[in-house]
């Protein structure tokens, strides 16, 4: 969808640029957003919200929307899930504007980036196990506890002192003292896989992503990614973290739980529910494509609810 074609009339165009000036939409002709699912199961309502949210932001800005399969965690991968997610997205009217990037095919680039970080003194080998770090609350104290051994080490990023802060388009200001709250973190795992934090930064930059819209469970990963971008001299994207869909017990929906997977054969009910979840007004169009088009026209990001901080904090413990 080109920037020129997306307004019905002059009034709508003015309204859009008025919103841009007020900061509702980023002012850019080159907006590039993305959806980056891990193929750990079928698309569920929570990931549909992230897909739709990122798609709406991108389309409302006249920008592009890319899909990337984040399949570095081979243990959690479910065979066929990547294909299934892409087919489900297509049934919902959302397809990548460029070839889908697959992280497992990009290890050489990640390894090259790790080498650079190591050479520049930002990353170091670490033999510490989870058990070793238990008495530090799981936070690496910047001095390794375990001595080098014959086991393959992980690589950690030196976070140094200081607070990393950014302004999230939905959640507002977010600050994190990395040394205190996270510690030196793993960017290359002992099992030989590149860690999420490094791969995501490399790929967002490689794909020229200007705006990252994703679930609020990743809000507290963002400062780690900002630090990596700074150390690698990469541009910093804008961020919007969407509220998380929770199950009846208040837990984040999981792709492992088939009960919450969305029905590709009948996309409208889930699309309507996802729009409502994002605070957007109800629509009664009877075709997904039509519904999406109208949703883009009426999209108002200020209606998206801000996540409660405990939801984001829940991820603090995971790598």
**Which residues form the catalytic set?**
255
Q: Report, in Å, the least distance between residue 70 CB and ligand GLU.
A: 4
What DSSP letter does each residue of 267-286 carry, written as one string?
A: HHHHHHHHHHHTTPPP---S
203-to-57, 131, 225 alpha-carbon distances in Å: 20, 32, 11
Contacts with ligand GLU by CB under 6 A: the residue count is 7
- Alpha carbon 81 to its chain centroid, in Å, reads 18
218 lines the binding site for ligand GLU (CB under 6 A): yes
Strands (E) across the chain are located at 32-35, 64-69, 101-102, 123-126, 154-157, 163-168, 172-177, 185-188, 211-215, 238-242
* Phi, psi of 66, rounded to the nearest 5 degrees: -115, 150
159 lines the binding site for ligand GLU (CB under 6 A): no
Q: Which stretch binds ligand GLU (CB under 6 A): 33-41, 79-87, 115-123, 171-179?
A: 33-41
Q: Report, in Å, the least distance between residue 134 CB and ligand GLU.
A: 26
- Phi-psi bin for 233: left (phi > 0), alpha (psi -120 to 50), beta? left
214 lines the binding site for ligand GLU (CB under 6 A): yes
37 lines the binding site for ligand GLU (CB under 6 A): yes
CB 295, CB 93: distance < 8 Å: no
What DSSP letter does each residue of 80-118 carry, written as one string?
A: THHHHHHHHHHHTT---SSPPEEGGG-HHHHHHHHHHHH
Q: Report, in Å, the least distance between residue 39 CB and ligand GLU.
A: 9
CB atoms within 10 A of CB 221: 22
Closest to ligand GLU by CB, 179 vs 240, is: 240
Q: Which stretch binds ligand GLU (CB under 6 A): 19-27, 36-44, 133-141, 259-267?
A: 36-44
38 lines the binding site for ligand GLU (CB under 6 A): yes
219 lines the binding site for ligand GLU (CB under 6 A): no
Q: Report, in Å, the least distance between residue 225 CB and ligand GLU.
A: 8
32-to-47, 137, 229, 309 alpha-carbon distances in Å: 19, 38, 17, 27
226 lines the binding site for ligand GLU (CB under 6 A): no
Closest to ligand GLU by CB, 26 vs 153, is: 26
Q: Report, in Å, the least distance between residue 2 CB and ligand GLU.
A: 26
Q: Which stretch binds ligand GLU (CB under 6 A): 24-32, 35-43, 112-120, 276-284?
A: 35-43
Site string for ligand GLU, 67-106 (x = CB under 6 A): ---x------------------------------------
168 lines the binding site for ligand GLU (CB under 6 A): no
Closest to ligand GLU by CB, 36 vs 126, is: 36
Terminus-to-terminus CA distance in the chain, angstroms? 37
Distance CA 37, CA 35 (A): 6
Q: Which of residues 191-210 bind ligand GLU (CB under 6 A)?
A: 200
237 lines the binding site for ligand GLU (CB under 6 A): no
Q: Report, in Å, the least distance between residue 65 CB and ligand GLU.
A: 13
Structure-token pair, residue 159: 């976070």
Among residues 218, 233, 229, which one has the least CA distance to residue 319?
A: 218
Using CB under 6 A as the criterion, which residues of the chain lie in contact with ligand GLU when the complex forms? 36-38, 70, 200, 214, 218
């Amino acid at each position: 969808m080109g920037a020129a074609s997306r307004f019905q009339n002059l009034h709508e165009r003015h309204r859009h640029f008025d919103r841009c000036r007020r900061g509702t939409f980023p002012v850019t002709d080159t907006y590039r957003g993305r959806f980056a699912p891990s193929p750990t199961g079928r698309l569920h309502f929570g990931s549909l919200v992230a897909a739709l949210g990122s798609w709406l932001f991108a389309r409302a800005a006249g920008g592009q929307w890319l899909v990337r399969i984040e399949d570095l965690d081979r243990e959690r991968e479910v065979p066929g899930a990547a294909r299934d997610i892409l087919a489900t997205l297509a049934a919902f009217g959302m397809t990548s504007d460029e070839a889908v990037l697959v992280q497992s095919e990009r290890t050489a680039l990640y390894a090259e980036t790790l080498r650079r970080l190591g050479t520049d003194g930002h990353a170091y080998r670490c033999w510490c196990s989870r058990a070793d770090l238990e008495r530090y609350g799981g936070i690496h104290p910047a001095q390794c506890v375990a001595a080098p051994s014959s086991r393959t080490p992980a690589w950690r990023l030196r976070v140094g002192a200081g607070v990393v802060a950014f302004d999230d388009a939905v959640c507002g200001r977010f600050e994190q003292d990395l040394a205190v709250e996270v510690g030196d973190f793993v960017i290359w795992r002992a099992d030989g896989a590149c860690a999420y934090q490094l791969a995501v930064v490399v790929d967002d930059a490689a794909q020229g992503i200007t705006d990252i819209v994703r679930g609020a469970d990743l809000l507290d990963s963002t400062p780690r990614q900002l630090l990596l971008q700074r150390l690698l001299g990469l541009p910093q994207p804008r961020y919007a973290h969407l509220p998380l869909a929770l199950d009846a017990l208040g837990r984040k929906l999981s792709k492992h739980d088939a009960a919450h997977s969305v029905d590709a054969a009948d996309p409208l009910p889930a699309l309507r529910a996802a729009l409502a979840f994002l605070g957007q007004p109800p629509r009664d169009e009877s075709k997904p494509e039509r519904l999406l088009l109208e949703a883009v026209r009426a999209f108002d990001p200020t209606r998206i609810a801000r996540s409660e901080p405990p939801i984001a904090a829940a991820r603090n413990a995971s790598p």
